[in-house]
Each structure stands twice: as C-alpha cells, then as structure tokens.
C-alpha cells in the first residue's frame, strides 16, 4: 500500500464529534448503540455517559442504560473498574445501573467469551476466530510445539489480529513470560520482504515503544482464521499491561491539558526513535497508544511499519515521518477536544505543535525569589511588554481573524491553521476535506437564506474553497463577510482591518488569474501574511510573490 493511501485509510478520529440527536419514531436502544459504535470506530471516542444524559434516564430506561454500559465494559475489560468508578463519581444517579452492568460483564467473562454469542464492535468486519484450540507459532521446540503459544485474542489492529501468547523458551526460567503476537495478512510473494522489513522495526529501542522481538510465517490455518487469506506473517512484541488511549481519555474526563501534552510528547519521543532507525509507524491513533497503570505511555502496533520500514526511497520515508508527526499533533488536539477552550489549552497544543515541527519551545523567563518588590514589578512589566510584542510577531491567525467564534468548532480551527500554514489541506484526505468544505458552504448559504448570516463562517468558507474546484465561490463569500468593504488603509492594527485586507486579497487573486503578483499587491499580501503568521497565504491565493532583489 502506498504510504499516502495508508495514511488516509483509517477513521477520521481527529474530526469534531457530531451531536447526538434522536428523532421521533426511532428505536432508542438501536440508535444509542449504533451511535456508541460509530463514536469508537470513526472518531476514536469511547462511549461515555455524558453524551447520553439528555436522552437516557437510568431508572426509566434501565434496560437501555444497562445495555449501553455492558457494551462499554465489554469493549474495555481491562479498564472497566476505572471507568465504573469515574462514572459513579460524576453521575451518582447511575450507580445502580453501573453496578448491575459490571456484575453481568463479570459473570459473562467468568463463563467464557462465547456464552452470549455476542460480538464486539469490530467482529463484523474481521475474520472469524477459530473455535479450535489456538495454535503455537515460531520455531518448534523439542516437543514439536512452536515457541509462542497463543492464549487468547486481545484486539484487532491494522491488517490483522492481536493475541496474548506465552513464550515457552523464556518461561523455562520458572516465570511465565507473556508476549503479544500480531498476525498480518500478506501475499505469498511478499512474505520474504515483509519479514525482512519487520526486522527494521525490531531495531527500534525506546522506553515508550513496545519492542518488536521476533517475526515469522504464520501457519496456514491461523492465517486463514485471523486474516481471511492463505498466507500471513506474525510479529512478536512486548505485551503491555495498559489500556488504549481512548479508554484512558474516557476514564479521565477531568484531565488537564498538561497531562494530555505529556502523553503527546511521550509519543513524539517514541516516534523520533523510530524515525532515527528508518522506521515509519504509519498508523498512530488512539487505539495504538497504551497507557500503563503507572502512567507510562507505550506506542504499539507496527503492522503498517513492518510493510514500509525499509523503503528504498529516502523521500518516501521522509514523507511518512512527516505524516507521523502530523498525526501526533492531531492526537493532541483529539485529547483536548472536549476540554473547555482556554489560553492554557491553546498553549499546550502550541507546544506540541512546535515540538513536532522541530521548533524550540517558546522561551519563558523566571524571577529570582530574592529580588525586591520594585524589581519584581519592573520585571513583570517587561514580561508583559515582551509577551505583547511576541504575540504581535507570532500571532494565532485563528484568534486574529475570528476571535473566539470558532472555539466550539475544533475541526474548523484545524482547517484554518492548516490552510494558512501550508496553503493547501494536509491533515485530512482529499475526500474528507472536500466533504468538510461542502458542508461548510452549505451551512453558510443556509444561514444567509434564513437571514442569520455568520460573517465569521463566510470568511472561513472563502478561504476553504480556494484550493478546491469550487473556488469561484470564494470572492462572493469574502465580500459578504466584510459587507463589501474590501481592503484596509494599510494599518493592520485590529481584526476588522485584517479581515477586510484578507477579503481584498481573495478578491484580487481572481482578477490576477495566477502568476507573479505585481510589486504593490505582492507587498500588501506579504504584509498580511506576516501579520497573520500565515506562510501559506501566497500558495492559497495561487499567486507568486515578487522575487527579492539580492543585496549588492
């Protein structure tokens, strides 16, 4: 699979969550469970009680409530106790329903996985697991059994199933050693290359990476039951006693932005070590980051990495590394997605963005405890002045253009920054970006027809359609956003002036029709780009700046 195609394959878990709505005449139990499954599969969000409080009453809708809770506990057996405690603290009226669901889940777990004939959220799309005793894989020992005896299936990742297994060789020392074995489907002609490339992932050694230990060819019956195909390889890695990040997030609704940033930085450190070894992970997501009971963070699932690690093209590896870093930024935004917007949250997100872009952290100044009150006051004044000047030099374009109007729309904030930074969509696939732009254009048009226009969304729509075939809508949207007042007097000191100048630039780019901007217009757009902190503005407008004259 091409790296870019692989990057576009998974769920769009970084997008904004849609609201949960119930229409009259719908089957409430069905719509609640379908919504919970979609949250996990598409948005990487573990189903939480808070989402359904306005619809479900634990006493009136007891059966639905218990079914929802049982579904959640079945998805997260390792984190069920922590989830139950968190939900009972935050929603004490649900305590009885939670206890009943926990009791049912414990009973079913004790009786075995096949008692109720149920299935998890991903069973419908994964190959069926054999009902026979699970086989052993790896080099055979004196008794003819493979080194790694599969014990139980513990998850489904990219391209295969994951099993908990016992390492017979290391267990001979007296203590049973548990490992994770992932079975990945591949063509017969690709087995040798896949095993060779899995060796590259084994070279990665970092405290936040689940170490790859071994690899080999899976037996035909295991390949068929686990992947649906006749051939597969297996990869053996450390078994991590932790919960996926989406479960940790659900169990920590009162987490801070600093805690989220700590996790994102740990993932970034782990991925840096992978890139240094020539390995691209390729599938960073909430499901592939585990949090141990100690709080340690571990990156797992190198299913895609094993296919791409030793790409002969250096540029392919570089592109994959860039996508990995972008996904870490998206992971941080996903972690804070439901936190109240604040300067502290934005600062932590900015710190992770700078970390992943290879930029140094923003400088902070400390004050000696022994300084006098007068000196402290003077330093405070200098700090405030320096902060204001720094904000003017490196503005947040979203805040400068829209204030707090987009605080409840994190996907639109991400869209704006992406376009102004790069001049084109880079976070989402072409299909997802086109769907978002289409939805935004329809929302803006409908609001204008109702007589309730949103000038913020109209200006954003003007930006968003520029890199699409629908860019002809950009000019009218820009004019509507500023009531036809295109351009400023050159002093970009306040938000209205910056918005008018941006609307002028969008309108002018249509008259220019591409090519190099004349000196006067180039100077204006360059000044606007600096004021916004938007290096991608020229590219977004599809014009080139005037070349600078070399100093003699």
pLDDT tens across 305-339, in order? 544 444 445 555 567 788 889 999 999 999 998 88
Domain assignments of the chain as residue spans, ordered by start:
3-113, 136-239, 245-356, 397-541
Query: Is the pLDDT assigned to residue 39 strictly greater than 90?
Result: no
Tell which phi-psi region holds residue 214, choosing left (phi > 0), alpha (psi between -120 and 50) or beta. beta
Of 432, 420, 512, the residue nearest 463 (C-alpha): 420
Confidence of residue 301 (pLDDT cuts 50, 70, 90): confident
Q: Does the pTM exceed 0.85?
A: no
Cα separation, 182 vs 201, in Å, equals 14
Comparing 79 with 386, the larger pLDDT belongs to 79
Of 180, 207, 196, the residue nearest 269 (C-alpha): 207
Provide the β-strand partners of residue 183. 161, 234
Cα separation, 22 vs 17, in Å, equals 16
Confidence (pLDDT) at 12: 59
Query: Is the pLDDT assigned to residue 348 strictly greater than 90?
Result: yes
Comparing 352 with 70, the larger pLDDT belongs to 352
Of 250, 255, 331, the residue nearest 45 (C-alpha): 250
Tens of pLDDT along 437-478? 888 989 989 888 888 989 999 999 989 988 888 888 888 888
Query: Is the pLDDT assigned to residue 377 strictly greater than 80?
Result: no
The neighbour count for residue 380, using CB atoms within 10 Å, is: 11
CATH number of the domain at 245-356, please?
1.10.510.10
Query: Is the pLDDT assigned to residue 119 strictly greater than 80?
Result: no
Query: Is the pLDDT assigned to residue 227 strictly greater than 90?
Result: no
Q: Of the ranges 3-7, 353-357, 390-394, 517-521, which one carries the lowest mean pLDDT score? A: 3-7
Tell me which CATH homologous superfamily contains domain 136-239.
Answer: Phosphorylase Kinase; domain 1 (3.30.200.20)
Query: Is the pLDDT assigned to residue 356 strictly greater than 70?
Result: yes
Confidence (pLDDT) at 308: 47
Query: Is the pLDDT assigned to residue 382 strictly greater than 70?
Result: no
Same fold, 136-239 and 245-356: no
Q: What percent of the chain has pLDDT over 90?
A: 16
* Strand ranges of the sheet holding 232-238, from the earlier edge strand across to the other edge: 136-140, 146-157, 160-167, 178-185, 232-238, 212-217
Q: What is the DSSP letter of 155?
A: E
Tokens at residue 28, please?
């409430």
Mean pLDDT of 414-433: 80
Query: Is the pLDDT assigned to residue 550 strictly greater than 50?
Result: no
Confidence of residue 145 (pLDDT cuts 50, 70, 90): confident
Query: Is the pLDDT assigned to residue 195 strictly greater than 80?
Result: yes
């Amino acid at each position: 699979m091409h790296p870019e195609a692989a990057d576009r394959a998974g769920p769009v878990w970084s997008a904004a969550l849609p609201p949960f709505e119930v229409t009259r005449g719908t089957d409430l139990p069905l719509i609640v469970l379908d919504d919970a499954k979609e949250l996990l599969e598409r948005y990487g969000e573990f189903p939480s009680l808070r989402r359904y409080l306005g619809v479900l009453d634990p006493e009136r809708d007891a059966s639905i409530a218990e079914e929802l809770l049982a579904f959640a506990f079945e998805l997260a057996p390792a984190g069920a106790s922590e989830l139950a405690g968190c939900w009972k603290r935050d929603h004490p009226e649900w305590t009885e329903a939670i206890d009943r669901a926990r009791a049912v889940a414990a009973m079913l777990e004790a009786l075995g996985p096949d008692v109720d004939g149920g299935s998890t959220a991903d069973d419908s799309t994964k190959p069926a697991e054999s009902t026979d005793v699970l086989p052993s894989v790896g080099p055979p020992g004196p008794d003819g059994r493979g080194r790694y005896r599969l014990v139980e299936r513990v998850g489904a990742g990219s391209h295969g199933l994951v099993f908990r297994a016992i390492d017979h060789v290391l267990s001979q020392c007296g203590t049973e050693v548990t490992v994770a074995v992932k079975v990945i489907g591949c063509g017969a002609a690709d087995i040798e290359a896949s095993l060779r490339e899995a060796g590259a992932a084994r070279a990665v050694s970092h405290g936040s990476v689940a170490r790859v230990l071994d690899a080999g060819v899976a037996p035909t019956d295991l390949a068929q039951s686990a992947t649906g195909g006749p051939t597969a390889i297996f990869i053996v890695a450390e078994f991590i006693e932790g919960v996926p990040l989406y479960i940790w997030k659900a169990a920590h609704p009162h987490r801070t932005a600093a805690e989220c940033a700590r996790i994102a930085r740990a993932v970034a450190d782990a991925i840096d070590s992978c890139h240094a070894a020539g390995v691209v992970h390729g599938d960073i997501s909430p499901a592939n980051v585990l949090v141990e009971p100690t709080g340690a963070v571990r990156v797992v699932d190198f299913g895609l990495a094993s296919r791409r690690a030793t790409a002969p093209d250096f540029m392919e590896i570089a592109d994959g590394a860039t996508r990995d870093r972008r996904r870490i930024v998206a992971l941080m935004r996903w972690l804070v997605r439901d936190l109240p917007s604040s300067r502290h949250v934005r600062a932590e997100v900015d710190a992770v963005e700078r970390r992943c872009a290879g930029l140094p952290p923003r400088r902070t100044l400390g004050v000696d405890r022994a300084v006098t009150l007068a000196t402290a006051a003077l330093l405070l004044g200098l700090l405030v002045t320096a902060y204001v000047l720094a904000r003017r030099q490196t503005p947040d374009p979203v805040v400068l253009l829209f204030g707090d109007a987009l605080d409840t729309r994190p996907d639109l904030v991400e869209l704006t920054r992406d376009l102004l930074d790069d001049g084109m969509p880079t976070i989402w696939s072409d299909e997802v970006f086109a769907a978002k732009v289409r939805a935004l254009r329809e929302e803006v048009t409908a609001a204008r027809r109702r007589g309730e226009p949103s000038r913020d969304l109209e200006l954003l729509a003007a930006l968003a359609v520029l890199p699409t075939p629908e860019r002809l809508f950009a000019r009218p949207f820009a004019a509507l956003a500023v009531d036809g007042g295109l351009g400023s007097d050159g002093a970009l000191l306040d938000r209205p002036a910056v918005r008018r100048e941006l609307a002028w630039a969008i309108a002018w780019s249509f008259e220019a029709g591409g090519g190099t901007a004349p000196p006067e217009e180039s100077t204006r757009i360059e000044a606007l780009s600096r004021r916004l902190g938007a290096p991608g503005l020229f590219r977004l407008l599809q014009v080139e700046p005037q070349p600078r004259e070399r100093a003699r």
